[in-house]
Amino acid sequence: MATLIPDAERNYLADQEAARITHLSLHEGSPGVTGANEAAGGSPAYARKAVTFNAAGAVGPLGASAQPATVGVAWSSEVTFDVDAATYSHWGAWSAASAGTFRQGNVLSSSQSPTGQAQIKLSIGVGPFAGA
């Protein structure tokens, strides 16, 4: 039997998850459960980026075509990373700009492989019931 969870509860849980995330990261491989393979180097140097989230279930800050109102999903602002030449395949979410607690990570919608110093833009949606 499927678990029945009202939309208001899905949105509440997504908001709780988003509130624990303050920074996003890029990774050159799977971050696993520890935040491994985080990007480094470059000039200007790579650094985690501060992020904010809208209320779950509402259209995200990038607009309805990029971040449609989705029950159980809180959309993030867009952040821009300075990166060195490498292949970036995953993102991560953290509780701090350095060190901190790794909250989650996943694959990028498509890997990015700049051949020199570049910028990569990223925004994510979080929530335990994404796509619900």
Task: Return the domain boundaries, the chain.
Answer: 7-126
Distance, in Å, from the CA atom of 2 to the CA atom of 67, rounded to the nearest integer, reads 27
Q: Write down the pLDDT at residue 3.
A: 74
- Contact (Cβ atoms closer than 8 angstroms) between residue 114 and residue 83: yes
Confirm whether pTM is higher than 0.85: yes
Q: Write down the pLDDT at residue 4.
A: 84
**What parts of the chain have a pLDDT lower than 50?**
130-132
